[in-house]
């Protein structure tokens, strides 16, 4: 292949929402002595738009079964890297989850947990809760994702649908600050009750607490020696 065939002008144009994000410093923080390697991290943006049909695999069958009951609650559906994610309006989340669990054509009877994600650059949707569901009946896996703004970090609890979400929602609240309305006892589960802030958010400070290990003291990330 000649050089002119691989010149930048001949490469496909990548939409702005797909452009890589270059983060400098650990989780976007700069000016520290961090030596963890995050200073050169390049992250590909998650697809901002929904995927077009057909989705492939069993994904279309799942979408077809969801459509009659919860179609208007699905904000977009994304298929990426062989996985499907249904982005659901937060106020409709319990209803959608119950349908996913109980519909014979779906039967996602097992939840593998609730995860939090913080996207500081997504204005109005900075905090996400992600649910990983498994159908033992049909041997299928999907992901459900819900977003809420940092200024209003409320998402309905799904403990009534999946009781194991009790501890998972507490952990997500503890680390990300998402408030799960209707949870039977939303308290911290990992951090001390009097801890300030939510330590897995990307705007959380990089510590300042040295760690002692076998007589040696490891300084906090922002106080480590830089080799760059």
The tens digit of pLDDT for each residue in 139-155 reads 999 999 999 999 999 99
Flag whether pLDDT at 227 surpasses 70. no
- Round the average pLDDT of the chain to a whole number and report it: 82
Percentage with pLDDT > 90 across the chain: 57
CATH 3.30.460.80 residue spans of the chain: 89-202
pTM above 0.85, yes or no: no
- The reported pLDDT for the residue numbered 60 is 96
Q: Are 52 and 26 in contact (CB under 8 A)?
A: no
Q: pLDDT, tens digit, for every residue of 162-216?
A: 999 999 999 999 999 999 999 999 999 999 898 889 989 988 876 566 666 677 7
Q: Over range 82-103, report the average pLDDT.
A: 96
- Chain centroid to CA 10: how far? 34
* Residue 164 CA: distances (Å) to CA of 70, 113, 114, 183: 23, 8, 10, 12
CATH architecture, domain 89-202:
2-Layer Sandwich (3.30)
Q: Predicted confidence band at 6 (pLDDT cuts at 50, 70, 90)?
A: very low
User: What span, in angstroms and rounded, lies between the C-alpha atoms of 72 and 74?
Assistant: 6
Count Cβ atoms below 10 Å from residue 23 Cβ, excluding itself.
17
- How far is Cα 116 from Cα 114, in angstroms, rounded to an integer? 7
- Mean pLDDT calculated for residue range 83-95: 96
Length of the chain: 228
Confidence of residue 2 (pLDDT cuts 50, 70, 90): very low
**Strand order from edge to edge, sheet including 140-148:** 74-80, 83-88, 140-148, 127-135, 110-118
Please say whether the beta carbons of 135 and 154 come within 8 A.
Answer: no
Q: What's the confidence (pLDDT) of residue 196?
A: 87
* pLDDT of 21 strictly over 60: no
Question: pLDDT tier at 32 (50, 70, 90 boundaries)?
Answer: low
**Distances in whole angstroms, Cα of residue 166 to Cα of each of 32, 36, 162, 173, 188:** 37, 33, 8, 11, 12
pLDDT at 47 over 60: no
CB 146 within 8 A of CB 155: yes
Q: Is 61 helix (H, G, I), strand (E, B) or coil?
A: helix
Is 80 exceeded by the pLDDT of residue 12? no
Give the model's confidence band at 1: pLDDT under 50 very low, under 70 low, under 90 confident, else very high. Answer: very low
Arithmetic mean of pLDDT, 49-70: 92
Q: How far apart are the first and last CA of the chain?
A: 38
């Amino acid at each position: 292949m000649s050089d002119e065939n691989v010149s930048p002008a001949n490469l496909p144009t990548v939409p702005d929402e797909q452009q890589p994000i270059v983060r400098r410093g650990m989780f976007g923080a700069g000016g520290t002595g961090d030596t963890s390697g995050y200073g050169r991290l390049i992250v590909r943006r998650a697809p901002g738009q929904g995927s077009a049909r057909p989705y492939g695999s069993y994904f279309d069958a799942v979408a077809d079964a969801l459509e009659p009951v919860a179609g208007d609650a699905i904000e977009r559906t994304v298929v990426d890297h062989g996985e499907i994610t249904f982005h659901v309006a937060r106020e409709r989340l319990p209803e959608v989850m119950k349908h996913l669990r109980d519909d014979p054509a779906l039967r996602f009877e097992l939840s593998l947990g609730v995860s939090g994600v913080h996207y500081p650059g997504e204005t109005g949707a900075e905090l996400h809760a992600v649910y990983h569901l498994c159908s033992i009946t049909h041997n299928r896996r999907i992901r459900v994702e819900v977003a809420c703004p940092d200024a209003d970090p409320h998402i309905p609890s799904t403990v009534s649908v999946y009781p194991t979400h009790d501890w998972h929602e507490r952990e997500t609240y503890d680390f990300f600050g998402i408030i799960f309305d209707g949870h039977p006892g939303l308290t911290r589960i990992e951090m001390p009750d009097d801890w300030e802030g939510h330590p897995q958010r990307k705007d959380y400070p990089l510590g300042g607490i040295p760690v002692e290990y076998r007589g040696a003291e490891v300084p906090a990330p922002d106080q480590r020696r830089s080799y760059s």
